């Protein structure tokens, strides 16, 4: 199974709003998921996955940015109505505990503890969010090695950011090492993929 994840954020950005446009980047990632019987040596086992969604108006765009270029659609209302809007402080305050709880609950189901986790490849939205989520998951302040960040190079690339962090920070993992790939964001929505190096 080939999973392709394009995140083209530029289209929905309000380039007049300094609070949002500067943080995003455009990117696409691809992942190949194979049956263990045909996977190459040194592959990753998927231990478990979980998805969760909880409605929020704190981060959104109202239907879609392409409406703004279509003459047949009613464009009454503010010009920014179809662009990205967020209440950043509210998002931070609500998403950090929500995502950390999702991860910890899934770890409990898998029989894992913070000490079992070698690395967290988290959604690349905000360094402070990642730091606090990692701390709640691991039980201590995470090092750059335990929770690498690629925001300084790629910006917020939405759900593809965790895969970029994984791609750039997995070569040193040893057989038996356990990690977490986790993206979260608008809506709110979050997904976890726990993996172990073979």
pLDDT digits (tens, 9 = 90+) for 116-164: 999 999 999 889 999 999 999 999 999 999 999 999 898 889 889 999 9
Confidence of residue 4 (pLDDT cuts 50, 70, 90): very high
Give CA–CA dist 73/71, Å, rounded: 6
Q: Which CATH superfamily is domain 2-70+79-197 in?
A: Thiolase/Chalcone synthase (3.40.47.10)
pLDDT digits (tens, 9 = 90+) for 61-108: 776 677 666 655 555 666 677 788 888 899 999 999 999 999 999 999
The whole-number pLDDT of residue 68 equals 63
Longest dimension (CA), the chain: 58
Give CA–CA dist 53/32, Å, rounded: 25
Start-end of H helices in 60-188: 88-110, 127-138, 151-154, 161-168
pLDDT digits (tens, 9 = 90+) for 25-61: 899 999 999 999 999 999 999 999 999 999 998 988 7
Q: What would the DSSP string read from start to end of 25-53?
A: --EEEEEE---GGGPPTT-EEEEEEEEEE
Q: Please name the residues in contact with 16: beta carbons below 8 A apart, sequence gap of 6 or more.
A: 80
Give CA–CA dist 39/45, Å, rounded: 10
Give CA–CA dist 25/12, Å, rounded: 12
Total-model pTM: 0.90
């Amino acid at each position: 199974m080939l999973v392709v994840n394009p995140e083209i954020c530029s289209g929905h950005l309000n380039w007049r709003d300094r609070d949002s446009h500067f943080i995003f980047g455009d990117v696409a990632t691809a992942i190949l998921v194979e049956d263990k019987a045909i996977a190459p040596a040194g592959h990753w086992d998927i231990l478990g996955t979980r998805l969760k969604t909880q409605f929020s108006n704190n981060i959104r765009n109202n239907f879609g940015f392409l409406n703004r270029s279509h003459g047949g659609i009613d464009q009454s209302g503010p010009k920014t109505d179809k662009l990205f809007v967020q209440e950043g402080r509210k998002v931070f305050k609500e998403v950090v505990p929500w995502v950390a709880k999702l991860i910890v609950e899934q770890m409990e189901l898998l029989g894992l503890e913070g000490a079992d986790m070698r690395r967290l490849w988290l959604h690349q939205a905000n360094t402070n969010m990642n730091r606090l989520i990692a701390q709640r998951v691991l039980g201590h302040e995470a090092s750059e090695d335990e929770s690498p960040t690629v925001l300084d190079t790629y910006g917020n690339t939405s759900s593809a950011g965790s895969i970029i962090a994984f791609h750039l920070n997995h070569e040193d993992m040893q057989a038996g090492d356990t990690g977490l790939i986790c993206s979260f964001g608008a809506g709110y929505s979050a997904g976890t993929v726990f993996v172990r190096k073979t």
